[in-house]
Amino acid sequence: MEVTSCKDCGRIFNYIGGVRLCVDCRAKLEDKFTEVKRYIEEHKNATVNQVSEELEVSVKQINQWIREERLAFSEDSSIFFQCDKCGTNIRTGRFCDQCKAEMTRNLGGLYKRDTPTRQKDRRDPAKMRFLDM
């Protein structure tokens, strides 16, 4: 087992993977998450900066939760984020619904679409799809 110091409080602990936080700080972070989530539900127009100041959570941490899709702002909130792909306004995650749908389609549809022009490995569609990805 690896021994490391906690990113937050600096205490030495047995590192088991994931975020470099000791058990206590992990628990604290989860509590914070619940707090932030509740705050956003109650203050639909709160900005990230406001949440950060009110609850003493870093903007970086809030953004991370959003990108992990753990945190989402409501439909009538004035907060937006940009889709990583097309830059359109979104409220959670990294991509807008359209880009997400497109990416799923591209992944699933490659084999079908390419079939007429491809001759190689025709007998092994599973392998071919793997290569295409």
Distance set, CA 46 to CA 19, 38, 43, 126 (Å): 27, 12, 5, 48
- Minimum distance, C-beta of residue 61 to Zn ion, in the bound complex (Å): 14
Instruction: List residues near Zn ion by CB under 5 A.
Output: 6, 8-9, 22, 25, 83, 85-86, 88, 96, 99
Smallest separation (angstroms) from Zn ion to the CB of 133: 20
Longest dimension (CA), the chain: 61
Residue with smaller CB distance to Zn ion, 87 or 125: 87
Which lies closer to Zn ion via its Cβ, residue 60 or residue 122? 60
Smallest CA-to-CA distance from 21 within 45, 34, 38, 4 is with: 4
C-beta closer to Zn ion: residue 63 or 88? 88
Q: CB of 7 within 8 A of CB of 21?
A: yes
The CB-of-8 to Zn ion minimum distance in angstroms stands at 5
Return the structure tokens found at 44: 């639909």
